[in-house]
């Protein structure tokens, strides 16, 4: 992921290049695209650093709901300043396009790594899991639920740290949700049943599925449909192979309880002996902090989110599902490359339009 895939090919990209140049960035290449967005690798002339520009073409969005999706992502990222959450450095509108200037993570995603290498080695696994718990704990303490946790939304920065990204489906201060979003293999039973649900408990389920996948290289459930997944969850316990150490298996089981009221909390997971040990050994690389950069915050002089002139547009579709090239993973996790089947598919599950965020 995040490889250079094209060199400024068309007039539209040249148009984006001009907008970025006006903000002090050079557009290097397109590295991904989705239904309504393109993602570019860019370079800051001032800071001599690379960033990512996510460009949403508002003129091509003719369905409602996308406006709230964009605002949700921007608002969440401007509130969530944490070493294990992707950073947003700027956002602006140029003509009919919304630009998000985001942190560049050359290590790609966990999805990239798992496809290329399979299960993550134990010591690295526990550190990455701990970092993800820290990021989710930080979100929850600020009333934010992510609602689409999965390996393709977890990036690896140049220091090998996990970074939670893509807050397009995030909710703020909602104890109970009646709108549904996410990716099918990572959805808990309460969402599959279209029941009112606690989004923070749903995040714990999705993170538990992610932990299982990281440890084993495969999903605990391989659903053919939403109904099939609901049946599997209701009737079968995941199989815990010898690839998952008993202590970690107990934690995953506590996260994958079908009744959300019985699910472990982030606080309780962080207080388990396993993660207490990781915490005691965990060292933050102080060199990873760049004092010359100022992250995007409220009051920083940029366009207030509520004042953005984003047209009213429709159902979520697949804005959050950006597809990237991944000819070769660049993750620092990788010691050697092994061919693996593409067992993980990034699937956006659409529920009836009336239920979409």
Higher pLDDT, 49 or 97: 49
Query: 357: closest CA among 101, 190, 171?
Result: 171
Q: How far apart are CA 27 and CA 128, in angstroms?
A: 31
The arithmetic mean of pLDDT across residues 54-73, rounded, is 68
Give the pair of three-digit tokens for residue 61: 């969005």
Confidence of residue 71 (pLDDT cuts 50, 70, 90): confident
Higher pLDDT, 339 or 194: 194
Task: Let me know if 323 is exposed, middle or buried by CB neighbors in 10 A (0-12, 13-18, 19+).
Answer: middle
pLDDT of residue 10: 65
Residues 6+ apart with CB under 8 A from 212: 219, 220, 238, 244, 252, 256
Inter-residue contact 73 to 124 (CB < 8 Å): no
Task: Check whether 24 has a pLDDT greater than 70.
Answer: yes
Measured in residues, the chain has a length of: 357
Q: How far apart are CA 247 and CA 245, in angstroms?
A: 6
Give the pair of three-digit tokens for residue 49: 């650093």
Task: Check whether 206 has a pLDDT greater than 60.
Answer: yes
Helix axes 122-141, 246-255, angle to 10 degrees: 30
Give the pair of three-digit tokens for residue 179: 């709108």
Confidence of residue 57 (pLDDT cuts 50, 70, 90): confident
Higher pLDDT, 209 or 6: 209
Query: 289: closest CA among 27, 87, 94?
Result: 87
Higher pLDDT, 117 or 72: 117
- 119 DSSP 8-state letter: S
pLDDT of residue 37: 83
Task: Check whether 280 has a pLDDT greater than 80.
Answer: yes
Q: Tens of pLDDT along 211-244?
A: 999 999 999 999 999 999 999 999 999 999 988 9
pLDDT of residue 61: 60
What SS3 class is residue 355?
helix
Confidence of residue 319 (pLDDT cuts 50, 70, 90): very low
Q: How far apart are CA 54 and CA 348, in angstroms?
A: 19
The arithmetic mean of pLDDT across residues 47-66, rounded, is 77
Task: Check whether 110 has a pLDDT greater than 90.
Answer: yes
The arithmetic mean of pLDDT across residues 122-133, rounded, is 96
- 173 DSSP 8-state letter: S
Token pair 């930080």 is found at: 138
Domains in the chain (CATH in brackets) are: 11-105+290-307 (3.30.200.20), 110-288+332-355 (1.10.510.10)
The arithmetic mean of pLDDT across residues 65-91, rounded, is 82
pLDDT of residue 63: 52
pLDDT of residue 111: 94
Inter-residue contact 135 to 164 (CB < 8 Å): yes
Confidence of residue 66 (pLDDT cuts 50, 70, 90): low
Q: How far apart are CA 139 and CA 79, in angstroms?
A: 9
Angle value at C-alpha 113, between 241 and 134, nearest 5 degrees: 80
Q: How far apart are CA 343 and CA 252, in angstroms?
A: 20
Task: Check whether 178 has a pLDDT greater than 70.
Answer: yes
Inter-residue contact 206 to 149 (CB < 8 Å): yes
The arithmetic mean of pLDDT across residues 151-165, rounded, is 94
Query: 258: closest CA among 236, 241, 227, 239?
Result: 236
Confidence of residue 173 (pLDDT cuts 50, 70, 90): confident
Higher pLDDT, 318 or 49: 49
From its phi and psi, is residue 144 left (phi > 0), alpha (psi between -120 and 50) or beta? Answer: beta
Give the pair of three-digit tokens for residue 152: 């393709």
Q: How far apart are CA 357 and CA 351, in angstroms?
A: 10
Q: Does 246 show up as a binding residue in the annotation? A: no
Confidence of residue 301 (pLDDT cuts 50, 70, 90): very low
């Amino acid at each position: 992921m995040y490889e250079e895939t094209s060199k400024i090919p068309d007039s539209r990209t040249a148009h984006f290049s001009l907008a970025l140049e006006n903000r002090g960035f050079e557009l290097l290449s397109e590295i991904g695209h989705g239904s309504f967005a393109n993602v570019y690798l860019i370079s800051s002339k001032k800071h001599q650093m690379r960033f990512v520009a996510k460009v949403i073409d508002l003129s091509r969005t003719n369905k409602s709901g996308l406006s709230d999706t964009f605002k949700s992502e921007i608002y969440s990222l401007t509130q969530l300043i944490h070493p294990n959450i992707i950073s947003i450095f700027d956002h602006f509108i140029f003509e009919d396009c919304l630009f998000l200037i985001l942190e560049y993570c050359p290590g790609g995603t966990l999805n990239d790594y798992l496809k290329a290498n399979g299960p993550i080695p134990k010591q690295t696994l526990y550190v990455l899991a701990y970092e993800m718990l820290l990021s989710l704990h930080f979100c929850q303490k600020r009333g934010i639920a992510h609602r689409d946790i999965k390996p393709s939304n977890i990036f690896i920065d140049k220091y090998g740290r996990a970074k939670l990204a893509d807050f397009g489906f995030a909710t703020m201060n909602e104890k109970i949700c009646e709108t549904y979003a996410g990716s099918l293999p990572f959805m808990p039973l309460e969402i599959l049943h279209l029941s009112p649900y606690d989004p923070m408990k749903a995040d714990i389920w999705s993170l538990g599925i992610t932990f299982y996948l990281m440890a084993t290289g495969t999903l605990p459930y391989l659903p053919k449909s939403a109904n099939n997944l609901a049946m599997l969850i209701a009737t079968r316990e995941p199989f815990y192979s010898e690839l998952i150490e008993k202590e970690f298996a107990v934690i995953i089981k506590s996260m994958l309880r079908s009744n959300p009221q019985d699910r472990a909390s982030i606080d309780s997971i962080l207080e388990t002996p396993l993660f207490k040990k990781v915490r005691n050994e965990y060292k933050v690389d102080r060199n990873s902090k760049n004092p010359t950069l100022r992250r995007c915050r409220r009051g920083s002089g940029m366009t207030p989110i509520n004042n953005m002139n984003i047209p009213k547009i429709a159902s979520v579709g697949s804005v959050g599902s950006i597809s990237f090239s991944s000819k070769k993973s660049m993750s620092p996790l990788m010691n050697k490359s092994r061919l693996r089947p593409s067992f993980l598919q990034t699937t956006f599950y659409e529920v009836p339009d009336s239920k979409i965020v």
